[in-house]
Structure 1
């Protein structure tokens, strides 16, 4: 048997199911020789109507219909609220009392329809941006600015006498309500994707087996993204995958479009160097024209956020330019100022809470209220972190007898039922109230509100990639805390910390702070 990709087809004999998504159960050790599929014609113009007819992944149609109804209702309700709040005679058209029919037609029909049209032309209903990332909200805001400009232009062109304050209130309220509707529908969509694995894009990964498995791990790490790999098409021959455990069926030497139809997919993800041959990716794009199948390229740029990646085309060659991480400059100065101000105000506001917690600790176990432990901070400098004491005073002496019961890997010792923690301390840990004194470290500039988790200083020098996390100040909360906290493995926690170091921004910090509230309330991974 030859490793000729044009003549050999490798596939698993088991049917494709979603069950393989969560466990490694398939072994690539069974092959079948089939004649190659005839190539599809490339570069032939297709009808735009044929391209629009999709045979799979129709979840976005009812979702888009719901968004249309909600956006129309939001715009109409905003107009109604503005009219009811202010005097009807000045609620937009001053001629409203003379011609109320026209006034209400504009306020409750034409203006909401205008919102829908402008939202549509700004791509706010594009299925590629629905449900994930900030792009959907950016398009809604851009549409809101366009609506304001259009209303202003029409009023000027027709010399219509408007109540600027009332119309501005209606437009601003409509924008806020539309954004709120998008947030609520996205929450429902994410819940559906996580719990019943519906409303998702089914993907075929194309590339070498290691590259495809890396992309598989990345996209399945976030079920809310709605990307479900259902098959892998390897480009380096079946021998590279023989005997290897894979989460989904593996194929080789197949016509990719025919394979997509066979497994019921709607997206092809070209991974890494799969398109090394010049023109191969372009011919694949030609082949997919009119098929309703999306083509995405997953370059070998892992854990790099979108704002750092820019496409710079040169004579038809799209170059991905990766910017350096922002580790200094005005943004970092603003972050430090925000940390100090928030920490100072927080300490003043939390004085009653601190007093109550201190009394509860002293009643539970006589001893110091605070626990201070050496931690490694910015650029390897050691500092003492402030925490409310949650363990008995002899906790350090009892640690040696519990080392073999450690439930985590890496540098930290964790037990879900640690006998050294007294009852009040267990509540403080579960509610994260024991971390509040770290505001003192933030005020002193030793920590930040958001950053990598501070690690103990008694584990020696940090080696390898772990040292990179010392480029920024450790934080009271961070990406690791809103992604699982103590339930994460050490490697996963390090990966999240390094991702934050390379991609942090003020907006990202605010997002993590907001997500922290939900995690703390739900007490996820806290023990």
Structure 2
């Protein structure tokens, strides 16, 4: 994904300008860096229009029966609801450029804003003794939530599509040791949807401007030259990666030198791979301290997750019942054997349970596995074959679109699994876990998870473990919502499913 991509002939750029590429004449031009504000304006306008549409539809539908008092009762409430929602989005920084277009934080802030609007609306209704306020709290606000979150997701898809083409990327100057900078370059290239592209590097022992390259990125100077290069070349992000040079005094002086410009300074603490709601910055005796709160394995949010799991599984079982009956008949007709395949898996706290799936292999497939051991293509402890001779014709289709996993909704309903969580391991896999990997067993395994929306069987073992551990460490209800939303696209694409 490195390098610029020219705009295709006849393609509409919309709110997305061309990719910035390398600095021209020693500096990124201002129009090339204005896409963030353009995207922010697009989000604000879209939120305003979506909110206005919902309140107008509700006010028009319910207020038509009281046309004589429409302006007095319904019009004022509709206008007030929209002002409350937009005001809450502004005050909770729901339109901050740093959170738009990536991660769960955007949706978390959107949800917090709408909840705040609902609370204020309820208090206002009590104070004014309005009899119509319940409609706006329990119908309008949820409808606005659904519409705005859908609209935000559609905008995000467009932004990510542009970033995959090399556009709408923040030019980054990375400064640190060669090893940590190289890791940052690798990650930004692997995940362009995050919006970073490392354009230049400063290292402790640079040979001078243009005198060296690191993974194809020019090394433009030493760590002492960072502020000069940022002021001259207009980088949007200064990414500080670990190196002994970076003492607290030097980091503070660099932050001072960057004041007054557009550059955002980002420092990687590299204490551990923890992010999201568990990280907090506190001032202790004037010293900034990075506080890492304990993972939440109990409490209110976990209780909400348990209720959502059971209700969601029950609803999906009713919804997919005709499809599951049809799939069961196809399995029976395609090859001899039963409809379901049962297998022991390891769940929360190491407790074993019986996982249920539609049968996708010939009868006795487990006994034939030993003869295929030398052809294993799975990473780490996993056994996988892209063209497994044991898979039936119907089984191949079921696996591609994850239809074989529908009976696992029964496991979710009975409480041994969750809708979202780490991949449920086999007993022999968990027996080989080290202490760090065993942290996957602190939560219930999931029907889907970060591993499913990130490539499934195509993932290296180390990456699959990292994703599962990241889920355990950084879990939140917002993260679950994002994973469930993205699972549909992963299933339809069939990537990594075999």
Matched ranges for 1:479-498 at <5 A: 479-498=450-469
Work out whether residues 485 and 524 of structure 1, in 8 Å CA contact, stay in contact via their aligned partners in 2.
Answer: yes
Question: Larger Rg: 1 or 2?
Answer: 1
1:81–1:170: 8 Å Cα contact kept in structure 2?
no
Q: Which residue of 1 aligns with 2:16?
A: none
Q: Write the distance in 1 (CA, Å) between the matches of 2:416 and 2:115.
A: 42
Distance in 2 (CA, whole Å) between partners of 1:456 and 1:154 is 55
Question: Is the contact between residue 56 and residue 265 of structure 1 (CA under 8 Å) also seen in structure 2?
Answer: no
Map of 2:198 onto structure 1: 229
Q: CA deviation at 1:390?
A: 0.9
Q: Which residue does 2:57 correspond to in 1?
A: 81
Aligned to 2:26: none
Match among 28, 31, 37 for residue 61 of structure 1 = 37
Which sections of structure 2, spanning at least 5 residues, go unmatched? 6-28
Which residue of 2 is the match for residue 323 of structure 1? 293
Give the secondary structure class of the aligned counterpart of 1:455: coil
| 2:460 aligned with 1:475 | no
Is residue 276 of structure 2 the alignment partner of residue 291 of structure 1? no
Of 225, 228, 235, 1:255 maps to: 225
Aligned-partner SS, 1:18: coil
SS in 2 for 1:279: helix
Partner of 1:448: 418
How far the C-alpha of 1:69 sits from its partner, in A, is 3.4
Contact 2:234/2:263 (CA < 8 Å) preserved in 1? Answer: no
Give the distance between the partners of 1:211 and 1:336, measured in 2 at CA.
Answer: 39
1:363 to 323, 333, 347: 333
The corresponding residue for 1:41 is none
> With structure 2 as the length reference, what TM-score do the two structures score?
0.78
Indicate if the aligned counterparts of 1:93 and 1:163 stay in contact, CA closer than 8 A.
no
Within the candidate set 497, 514, 521, 2:485 is matched to: 514
Say which of 160, 168, 175 aligns to 1:190: 160
How far the C-alpha of 1:329 sits from its partner, in A, is: 4.5
Distance 2:88 2:316 in 1: 43
Q: CA deviation at 1:514?
A: 3.0
In structure 1, the residue matched to 2:281 is 311
The alpha-carbon deviation at position 435 of structure 1 amounts to 1.6
Matches within 5 A, 1:29-428: 57-78=33-54, 80-82=56-58, 84-85=60-61, 86-87=63-64, 88-93=67-72, 119-120=89-90, 122-137=92-107, 139-140=109-110, 177-194=147-164, 196-235=165-204, 246-253=215-222, 255-260=225-230, 265-273=235-243, 276-336=246-306, 338-340=308-310, 342-343=312-313, 352-428=322-398
Q: CA deviation at 1:485?
A: 0.8
Q: Distance in 2 between matches of 1:384 and 1:143?
A: 42
The one-character-per-residue Cα deviations of 1:354-376 (angstroms, maximum 9, x if unpaired) are: 44333322221112322233333
Deviation larger for 296-305 or 76-85: 76-85
In the TM superposition, residue 325 of structure 1 has moved relative to its aligned partner by: 1.6
State the distance in 2 between where 1:210 and 1:328 align.
38
Indicate the larger mover: 143-152 or 425-434: 143-152
Structure 1 residues not aligned, in runs of 5+:
1-16, 21-52, 97-102
Separation in structure 1 between the aligned mates of residue 78 and residue 310 of structure 2, nearest angstrom: 47
- Greater relative contact order, per chain length (Cα 8 Å cut-off, separation 6+): 1
- What CA distance in whole angstroms lies between the structure 1 residues aligned with 2:304 and 2:43? 37
Q: Note if contact 1:207-1:270 (Cα within 8 Å) is conserved in structure 2.
A: yes
Pair 456,245 (structure 1): closer, same or farther in 2 beyond 3 Å:
farther
Q: Is the 8 A contact 1:215 1:298 kept in 2?
A: no
Hey, what's the Cα distance between the residues in 1 that align with 2:298 and 2:386?
Answer: 39
C-alpha displacement of 1:205: 1.3
Counterpart in 2 of 1:437? 407
Superimposed CA distance per residue, residues 34-72 of structure 1 (whole angstroms, 9 cap, x where no aligned partner): xxxxxxxxxxxxxxxxxxx96762112322332343344
Cα distance, 1:208 vs. partner?
A: 1.7
Mapped partners of 1:389, 1:152: distance in 2: 52
Question: Which residue number in structure 1 is paired with residue 496 of structure 2?
Answer: 525
Cα 1:226–1:380 shift into 2, 3 Å: same
CA RMSD of aligned residues (A): 4.1
Q: Which residue of 1 aligns with 2:14?
A: none
Cα deviation 1:395-442 (Å, max 9, x = unaligned) = 345434543433332122222222221111111111212122333444
Aligned residue for 2:337, secondary structure, equals coil
Secondary structure in 1 aligned to 2:34?
A: coil
